[in-house]
Amino acid sequence: MAGTPKLIAAPAFLSSSIANIFTPNAALKYQITHIHVTNNTAGAVTFSLGVSTTADLAAGKELVKDYSLAAKGTSAASFDLYDGPTLDGSVASHFLTGIASAGSSLIITVNGYISAL
């Protein structure tokens, strides 16, 4: 795979309002290889992820929509997406965005490759 392996978004909580998971650099291309989301709480929490303009998650832009993760400590408390999208940092609609039904509950980590445009 071309590019340099990189932790694109370090572990962080998904917000309870639509937010950018990371802000792409306009000079780079990102090949997302793995998105991991895990529930850190005692109750079920839903989330959505998408590719859109900054802090947007309009209908039709979702990679994952209203996915529910069970309470921590269960086998259904994590979500993994492999071979995700390629994001071109110079395109205004190539932000990885997300939202959780409860803030400070779900932790997201994004790995992939970066390369110069």
Of 9, 12, 2, the closest CA to residue 96 belongs to 9
CA distances from 80 to 44, 70, 76, 96, 111 (A): 17, 14, 11, 15, 11
What is the overall mean pLDDT for the chain? 95
Identify the domain containing residue 52 by its residue range: 4-116
Backbone angles phi, psi at 7, to 5 degrees: -80, 105
What CATH number is attached to the domain comprising 96?
2.60.120.340
* Whole-angstrom distance, CA of residue 70 vs CA of residue 57: 23
Q: State pLDDT tens for residues 34-78.
A: 999 999 999 999 999 999 999 899 888 999 999 999 999 999 999
Mapping DSSP to helix (H, G, I), strand (E, B) and coil, where does residue 90 land?
coil
Of 85, 102, 86, the closest CA to residue 39 belongs to 102
Q: Which of 3-12, 55-64, 84-93 has the lowest mean pLDDT?
A: 55-64
CA distances from 58 to 19, 50, 90, 102 (A): 12, 8, 20, 19
Q: What is the pLDDT of residue 60?
A: 86
Between 52 and 2, residue with greater pLDDT? 52
Q: Given pLDDT bands bounded at 50, 70 and 90, which one contains residue 1?
A: low
Q: Where are the alpha helices (DSSP H) in 11-102?
A: none
Q: What is the pLDDT of residue 25?
A: 95
Domain count, the chain: 1
Percent of the chain whose predicted confidence (pLDDT) is above 70: 99
Answer whether 30's CB lies under 8 Å from 89's CB.
yes
